[in-house]
């Protein structure tokens, strides 16, 4: 059993921290709005802290899943941030999807304090977090990974060490780039089938077993056909992630024309009021 802190009690962080309790760890949580922390403790039985530093004090490892680069910097490097309270040799794992730049900064500043740092964004959404079946892509040293992997195993189906600091975040960008392209193709395919007066169930049966098959097709074709989008990963968050990828591409010289185009398409769906809808709502901008 390890003494752990988890920062961020959102739809991802709360169930992930719950799995850590179920695995037998001693878990203290912190959230900017105290009510979410209290609700988590009432459900899972862990402890609640008033600041990230208080949560991190005396812990073997601190994990976080917050919102943005600024949020992450605040809970780690701020006046009451976790890094100030963490002992040399302890571990920090960040599950937030953020820029590779902040991941590298945390690795540098944490390293100066003899902390082990892993950037570990996740894929699998809320369902994956609740079911303990997330895919985790990690950046950091081999030593840091050796400390992190047994902890993350409580809520992961797959854990891959992708490289040094920042590699987890850039791998997550690859994930989002690929999803954006698949969803645009799926949207066009669905609308083409509708324009052709085809039976959508038969189309799905015919094409989902071949080269066109994807997770998005298997899980979103039917709901897209019914205009059901009030679940899953929100477009607002997808645009944040695609923006991170486009910014990183400016740094590393990659060319992302499809990503830039789909990002614009998502902006149109946001303008239609779909910012909190699932990413499959991309189909809304294509006329029937």
Active site positions, annotated: 172
- For residue 58, the tally of other CB atoms under 10 A from its CB is 13
The secondary structure element, H or E, covering residue 248 is helix 235-252
Cβ proximity of 157 and 134 under 8 Å: yes
Sequence-ordered list of residues with C-beta below 8 angstroms from that of 246, at least 6 positions apart, any chain:
256, 259, 260, 263
237 membership: H or E segment, kind and range:
helix 235-252
> How far apart are alpha carbons 52 and 78 in whole angstroms?
9
- Bridge partners of 135, per DSSP, are 123, 158
Side-chain-side CA neighbours of 154 within 13 Å: the count stands at: 20
CA distance 263 to 233: 15
> How many other CB atoms are there within 10 angstroms of residue 118's CB atom?
30
What is the number of alpha carbons within 13 Å of residue 26 lying toward its C-beta?
9
If we measure between CA atoms, which residue out of 54, 66, 69, 61 comes closest to residue 23? Answer: 61
């Amino acid at each position: 059993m390890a003494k752990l802190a988890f920062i961020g009690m959102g739809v991802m962080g709360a169930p992930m921290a719950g799995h850590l309790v179920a695995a037998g760890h001693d878990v203290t949580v912190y959230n900017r709005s105290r009510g979410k922390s209290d609700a988590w403790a009432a459900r899972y039985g862990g402890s609640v802290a008033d600041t990230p530093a208080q949560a991190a004090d005396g812990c073997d490892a601190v994990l976080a899943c917050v919102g943005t680069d600024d949020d992450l910097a605040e809970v780690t490097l701020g006046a009451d941030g976790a890094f100030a309270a963490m002992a040399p040799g302890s571990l920090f794992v960040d599950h937030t999807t953020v820029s590779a730049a902040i991941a590298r900064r945390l690795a540098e500043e944490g390293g100066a304090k003899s902390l082990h740092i892993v950037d570990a964004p996740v894929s699998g959404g809320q369902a994956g977090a609740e079911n303990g079946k997330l895919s985790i892509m990690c950046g950091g040293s081999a030593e840091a990974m050796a400390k992190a992997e047994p902890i993350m195993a409580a809520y992961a189906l797959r854990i891959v060490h992708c490289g040094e600091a920042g590699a987890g975040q850039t791998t997550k960008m690859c994930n989002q780039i690929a999803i954006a392209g698949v969803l645009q193709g799926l949207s066009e395919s669905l609308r083409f089938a509708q324009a052709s007066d085809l039976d959508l169930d038969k189309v799905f049966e015919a094409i989902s077993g071949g080269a066109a098959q994807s997770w998005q097709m298997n899980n979103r074709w039917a709901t897209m056909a019914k205009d059901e989008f009030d679940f899953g990963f929100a477009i607002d968050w997808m645009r944040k992630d695609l923006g991170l990828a486009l910014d990183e591409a400016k740094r590393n010289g990659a060319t992302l024309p499809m990503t830039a185009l789909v990002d614009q398409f998502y902006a149109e769906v946001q303008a239609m009021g779909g910012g909190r809808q699932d990413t499959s709502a991309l189909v809304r901008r294509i006329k029937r």
